[in-house]
Amino acid sequence: MRLFLLFIISSFTGFGQRTDFSGSWTINKTKIQFGEAPEWVLPKGFTVVQNKNTISIERILLDEQMKEYPFTEVLNYNGADSVNTTSLGTKKTTSLKWNGDGNTFVLTSRSVKANYLPGNSTVETWSLEDDHTLVIDRHVEQADGSKYDIKAYYEKK
């Protein structure tokens, strides 16, 4: 019986372990095939702070003129929606779901522009290729119905 209880306790201890994405990440354009997509569709970089129950993701976004603006989201691991507004007035609703092994997670987001028109819907799968390379597989559907996929690589500073 004691051995069984020890097994159960150790199972719960390992259950909460997840890959740690914490750190500052900078885009590596040499690995990315943008295709017809302009470079500004990807954030220039990220700063990630991961805690026991939440993850804070600050993106350095670019507009069409390549002007930078930061945008931070704090997301719960329970999959609940987080609603945030960018400095450009876009309202973004995002949820996070870890995959079963705790090595990757999926961010699902949709946005509404400041003028109340629909924005993009995005699904991002985050993984670490190694301790120094963040890989984000992005699927984006724009308000006009056009879609694109892009695999982005970021190097740890």
CA-closest candidate to residue 62, choices 47, 41, 46: 41
- Domain around 140: 19-156
Could you tell me if residue 4 is inside a domain? no
Q: What distance lies between CA 107 and its chain's CA centroid?
A: 5
CATH number at residue 124: 2.40.128.20
Could you tell me if residue 13 is inside a domain? no
Please check whether residue 23 is in contact with residue 48, taking contact to mean a CB–CB distance below 8 angstroms.
yes
Please check whether residue 2 is in contact with residue 131, taking contact to mean a CB–CB distance below 8 angstroms.
no
Those residues with Cβ within 8 angstroms of residue 43's Cβ, 6 or more apart along the chain or in another chain: 27, 59, 60, 61, 62
Could you tell me if residue 3 is inside a domain? no
Those residues with Cβ within 8 angstroms of residue 2's Cβ, 6 or more apart along the chain or in another chain: none
Could you tell me if residue 76 is inside a domain? yes
Name residue 146's amino acid.
S
Could you tell me if residue 127 is inside a domain? yes
* Percent of all residues in the chain with a pLDDT value above 70, rounded to a whole number: 90
Q: What share of the chain is helix, strand, coil (3-state, %, to 5)?
A: 15, 50, 35
Q: Number of folded domains in the chain?
A: 1
Strand 45-50 and strand 23-27: the pairing is antiparallel
Q: How many CB atoms sit inside 10 A of residue 27's CB? A: 20
Q: How confident is the model at residue 131 (pLDDT cuts 50, 70, 90)?
A: confident
Q: How confident is the model at residue 36 (pLDDT cuts 50, 70, 90)?
A: confident
pTM of the model: 0.86
Instruction: Answer yes or no: is pLDDT of 13 > 70.
Output: no
Strand 133-141 and strand 118-130: the pairing is antiparallel
CA distance 140 to 105: 17
